[in-house]
Structure 1
Amino acid sequence: MEGRRVKAIIFDLDGTLIDSAPDIHAAVNRTLAETGDGELPLDTIRGFIGNGVPVLIERVIAARGLDPARQAAMVDTFMRHYEADPATLTTLFPGVKDAVEQFRDEGWAMGVCTNKPEAVSRAILDRLGIGSFFGTVVGGDTLDVKKPDPAVALAVKERLGATVAVYVGDSEIDAECAWKAGMRFALFTEGYHRADDVDDIPQDARFSDFDVAVAIVARLADELR
């Protein structure tokens, strides 16, 4: 219908909806173990997440002082381990399930914008019982570009048929993507951001508890009227 306002919420995945660092950490260390390259701690790997698998492995290589020429082979090995079972240790952040149910009940369209491969992202969402809430998932291999390129977030908005979209994420990458896409950005502070101070991340609002996410996102959307 012409003039109908369709509001959407675009979620980042890792560090926003899901705490996936333990499974990513396990796959990284299995990759390193295959060639006797040691291990890295969970907190280190958590700080490497967000820019997609190639960048993750690039940071692993730098941290272990390995030959950069090994990146492509290590990406393949990592994906073999990770895709074998990507949600053994991964969990939803507290309050996520209730929040997406409320968004659905209030008529929001929802999509996921992530640098994780699309198929793996969908498999994890389904495994955790929330896949059906999302009208689309645009992953790091869906388009020819990754976040923070705004084309990723804009593709989610277009696929949802939205006229208004609010982006929810946990990192500097998400903030940049939202800004470039012309979207309001709500920062989930308990995720995988790299900044020591969340005030350093551009944002229109922030929250640490999904119990208040619906009200915050609704306010940001109303400001776009």
Structure 2
Amino acid sequence: MARIVFDLDGTLIHSAPDIRTIANSILSEERMELISLDETIDFIGNGASVFIEKMRAARGIPDADHDRLLTVFQDRYETVLELTAPYPNVRESLAHLIVAGHRLGLCTNKPMRATRAVLSHLSLTDPLSVVYGGDSLDKRKPDPAPLLATLDDLGTGPCLYVGDSEVDAETADRAGVPFLLFTEGYRKTPAEDLPHLARFSDFAELPDLVQAQLEVIA
């Protein structure tokens, strides 16, 4: 059976509304204009530090404030979970893949403590036997190292990576891992412009898609 690794934000879960809430609580305290949901999504993908960097740049906040704001952001990141939810049919799809004998892992740029917190809150911990966060290694996506480490920990066999973004597509390409693109996440680039083996818009499609693609790459 296959090793299947998932991205988190924009792939398994829609977390942008809560991330926006956290960011805007900080901006309000800094007496800065709040960010929109579109801006929030645009800033997501390369980890918390890059999110804060982009937020600061958008609002003209000095570089000297970066570490302070990042600390506040990360502290709140683990507790603001009211609006975050799995995408439709994620739970059912993961359960189907487990029953089919596949081994599932997670590779995200979200910090590990926040990753564990949201997985626990949403009861998504059990299907994912290996989890790498953005601070698990000294490199993060799109460097291929975290994805390759996740796959190594899952054992041997055919592999697939499932993600939603330009970062995920580049990570898979650099790792030499077949990529399945979830089209309803936080991607900014047209789907046809990203390297991918196949794409899907509903997690209900994923089990059959995985089976079909494994026959192709076998």
TM-score for both structures, normalised by structure 1? 0.94
1:215 aligns with 2:208: yes
| Partner of residue 35 from structure 1, selected from 26, 30, 36 | 30
SS in structure 2 opposite 1:131? Answer: coil
| Partner of residue 114 from structure 1, selected from 105, 108, 115 | 108
1:98 aligns with 2:92: yes
1:185 aligns with 2:179: yes
CA RMSD of aligned residues (A): 1.1
Matching residue of 2:14: 19
| Partner of residue 56 from structure 1, selected from 51, 56, 64 | 51
The alpha-carbon deviation at position 46 of structure 1 amounts to: 1.1
Q: How does 1:128-143 map to 2 (within 5 A)?
A: 128-143=122-137
The alpha-carbon deviation at position 202 of structure 1 amounts to: 1.2
SS in structure 2 opposite 1:223? Answer: helix
The alpha-carbon deviation at position 42 of structure 1 amounts to: 1.3
Aligned partners of 2:125, 2:205: CA distance in 1, in Å? Answer: 22
Q: Would you say how many aligned residue pairs link Structure 1 and Structure 2? A: 218
Aligned partners of 2:116, 2:126: CA distance in 1, in Å? Answer: 10
Give the letter aligned to residue 77 of structure 2.
Answer: Y
Give the letter aligned to residue 218 of structure 1.
Answer: Q
The alpha-carbon deviation at position 60 of structure 1 amounts to: 0.3
- Encode CA deviations 1:19-69: one digit per residue, 9 max, x unaligned: 000111011011112221231111110111010001101110111122122
- Encode CA deviations 1:151-210: one digit per residue, 9 max, x unaligned: 111111011113221000000100111111111000000000121x21111111000011
Aligned partners of 1:171, 1:96: CA distance in 2, in Å? Answer: 17
Aligned partners of 1:214, 1:119: CA distance in 2, in Å? Answer: 29
SS in structure 2 opposite 1:45? Answer: helix
Q: Quick check: 158-167 or 170-179, which moved more? A: 158-167
SS in structure 2 opposite 1:146? Answer: coil
Aligned partners of 2:63, 2:156: CA distance in 1, in Å? Answer: 42
- Encode CA deviations 1:101-142: one digit per residue, 9 max, x unaligned: 000000010000000011211221121112100111100000
Aligned partners of 1:50, 1:86: CA distance in 2, in Å? Answer: 18
Q: Quick check: 37-46 or 89-98, which moved more? A: 37-46
| Partner of residue 140 from structure 2, selected from 137, 146, 166 | 146
Task: Confirm or deny: 8 A CA contact 1:86 1:120 kept in the other structure.
Answer: no
Aligned partners of 2:156, 2:211: CA distance in 1, in Å? Answer: 14
Percent of pairs identical after alignment? 43
SS in structure 2 opposite 1:39? Answer: coil
Q: Quick check: 65-74 or 132-141, which moved more? A: 65-74
Task: Confirm or deny: 8 A CA contact 1:31 1:81 kept in the other structure.
Answer: no
SS in structure 1 opposite 2:131? Answer: strand
Q: Which runs of 5+ in 1 are unaligned?
A: 1-5
Give the letter aligned to residue 42 of structure 1.
Answer: L
Aligned partners of 2:198, 2:136: CA distance in 1, in Å? Answer: 29
